[in-house]
Homo-oligomer: A and B are copies of this chain.
Amino acid sequence: MSLTDKAIAQIRDLIQSGDLPPGSKLPPEQELAAQLGLSRSLAREAVKALSVARILEVRRGDGTYVTSLQPGLLLESFSGAVELLQAHPGALLELLEVRRLLEPVAAALAAVRISDDQLAELHGHLDAMRDSRDDVELLNRHDAAFHHTIVAATGNTTLTAVLDAISGRTLQARIWRGMHDSQSAVRTLTEHEAILGALSQRDAPLSQAAALLHVSNTEKWLREHLRTEQPAAG
């Protein structure tokens, strides 16, 4: 174990123990290095590693601070890991399976917690998707926003961050590009309408079923598509 790794562990422990609460300022590089008992370069490496993980935030010319440590922030690194996971063959289908398990139950929970404002927001995204059948990029964005809003309606920021990450912007973009030509896009729209209808009635089981149907169809589409365009699945 290198000195830098020890330094990282020390700083992490200070945060976890409460000695460095969220938002607090770390000593200057020189002092920090002295306290950790190593050179400035190594202290810099430790700080860099922690700031990439969104645990520390460096403000040039000012100082280094502990971030808010909120789930959405810390799980950004998780999102980055998922992006790289897609390079690993098979991980893509695993990822989609996790989503197939999690998103329906999240929708069910959202059904009993969603507010009228959030329902209106979902309506807005759905309308926008109908209007923008020609613009794949815009379509993709509203689709992602639609699903994000549903999960966010659970009020669970950790759950939201996890699902956002495994939904994967890159992956979704690929799917939408592939589906654009076919009639799948139309079916997807009706699936969204079914989900929104169930949520509007605050019907948890129905919401869960509609979400499961949607994700399963997406998964099925991708599974078939991966077989045909094998070479592009890098």
Query: Which interface class (under 10, 10 to 19, 20 to 34, 35 or more) fits A?
Result: 35 or more
Identical chains in the assembly: 2
Tell me whether A158 and B15 are in contact (CB under 8 A): no
Tell me whether B102 and A88 are in contact (CB under 8 A): no
Q: Can you sample 10 A-B contacts with CB below 8 Å?
A: A16-B87, A18-B234, A22-B87, A45-B48, A53-B77, A71-B88, A78-B78, A91-B158, A97-B156, A101-B106
Given known A-B contacts A88-B69, A98-B159, A8 and B52 have beta carbons under 8 A apart: yes
- Say if the beta carbon of A95 comes within 8 Å of chain B: yes
Q: How far is the CB of A92 from chain B (nearest CB, A)?
A: 10
For A95, the chain B residues whose CB sits under 8 A away are 158
Tell me whether A94 and B158 are in contact (CB under 8 A): yes
Q: Is the interface of A mostly helix, strand, loop or mixed?
A: helix
Residue of B nearest to A68 (CB): B88
For A49, the chain B residues whose CB sits under 8 A away are 48-49, 52
Q: How far is the CB of A24 from chain B (nearest CB, A)?
A: 12
For A70, the chain B residues whose CB sits under 8 A away are 88, 91
- Say if the beta carbon of A193 comes within 8 Å of chain B: no
A sample of 5 more A-B contacts (CB under 8 A), given A71-B85, A162-B162, is A16-B84, A52-B53, A69-B88, A74-B85, A105-B105
Tell me whether B102 and A101 are in contact (CB under 8 A): yes
| 10 closest cross-chain pairs (CB), A and B | A94-B158, A49-B52, A74-B81, A101-B105, A78-B78, A45-B48, A49-B49, A69-B88, A98-B159, A94-B156
- Say if the beta carbon of A109 comes within 8 Å of chain B: yes
CA distance A45 to B84 in the complex (A): 20
Tell me whether A18 and B87 are in contact (CB under 8 A): yes
Tell me whether B16 and A98 are in contact (CB under 8 A): no
